Amino acid sequence: MYPLKFKNIYYEKVWGGRDLARFRDNLPDGNIGESWDVACHPHGMSIISNGEFKDTRLDDLIKQKGEGLIGKKISKNRFQILIKILNTRGKLSVQVHPNDEYAKRVENEMGKNEVWYVMDAFEDANLIVGLKKKCTQEKLRKAIEDGNLEDCMNKVPIKKGETYFIKSGLIHTICEGAIIVEIQQNSDTTYRVYDYNRGRELHIEKALEAIDFNLKGEKSTGLKVEKDDFSKTYLCLGKDFSLELYEVNSNFFEKSDAERFYIFTCVEGRGKIAYESGVEHIKKGDSIFIPASLGAYRIEGKMKLLKSYIPDIEKVEQEILREVRK
């Protein structure tokens, strides 16, 4: 096996823009709102773009290579992560994602936890994450009916490099002027609460049932560990995914994990991944899949990389403790 790259899957959106062309040379016409970069879902399937398995569907390669690709501890029945890059030149709908229990019961689908990394934020860029204090279901319903929904919501200015964990049940949206890397559960279930009079279907009753009024939207600062040639920040750790940020000054060395795959997404700079049989280059906007059976690899360059994977939580916690215990 070798590090896999994928063809970008683009989706035009009413709120999309052209900003992905800042680092992509294959952007199709139209207002592109989403690029699905690692996907194994009925609504979008990644196709490998490099090496021996070029033009192979990801789901077909999983069937073919099994544990050697995804790892001994990862389910072969359902790929669990979806990685997107979003570009907003208008507001997304105000929305909420259900948790696993609700989504399985009502939609026969998984729920959706997700984490946002702000790849770029232009002037006056904002997110809406959660509700203001003392907002009840009744107050929220009244605000929706009166068209005053944003008065109830927690609006926060954002900067490049920030991270926000969007837990299922948290009402949210991305406002104008951002490029966001989104790592999420492999689900496409979204309930729109308000859509700025754009005429798309709303799901108000389901949304009101799915919203967790106790959740707060907060920036994730993480835990940063400095090394000689790079730093690593643990940004998010949960049952569905783990997210870490590597800031690489020259290089670092790692090994794949026979239990699970890794995905690196470059959010700044460029470099390469050298492994036993060759080299794969990576630049801003690229995602690259590290198979469970790859073995040792070395990442070289000056760049920032997001590393996402499905964790063994206890193992990651022990790794963090080894870093801080003296």
Secondary structure (3-state) at 10: strand
For residue 200, the Cα-to-chain-centroid distance in whole angstroms is: 24
Of 192, 260, 298, 322, which residue is the catalytic one?
A: 192
Q: Is 101 exposed, middle or buried (0-12, 13-18, 19+ CB in 10 A)?
A: exposed
CA distances from 161 to 52, 180, 219 (A): 35, 10, 11
Q: Is 307 left (phi over 0), alpha (psi -120 to 50) or beta?
A: beta
Query: Do residues 123 and 89 make contact, with C-beta atoms less than 8 angstroms apart?
Result: no
Q: Is 192 a catalytic residue?
A: yes
Could you list the beta-strand ranges (E) of 19-80: 32-38, 40-41, 44-45
CB atoms within 10 A of CB 4: 26
Taking the CA atoms of the chain, what radius of gyration do you get in angstroms? 20
The dihedral region occupied by 223, where left means phi > 0, alpha psi between -120 and 50, and beta the remainder, is beta
Residue whose C-alpha is closest to residue 92's, from 120, 117, 123, 129: 129
- Number of Cβ atoms within 10 Å of the Cβ of 186: 19
In sequence order, the β-bridge partners of residue 118 are 180
Do 294 and 225 contact (CB within 8 A), yes or no? no
Amino acid occupying residue 192: R
d(CA 298, CA 311) in angstroms, rounded, equals 21
Distance CA 46, CA 218 (A): 31
Q: Which residues pair with 157 in a beta bridge?
A: 126
**Which are the catalytic amino acids?**
192
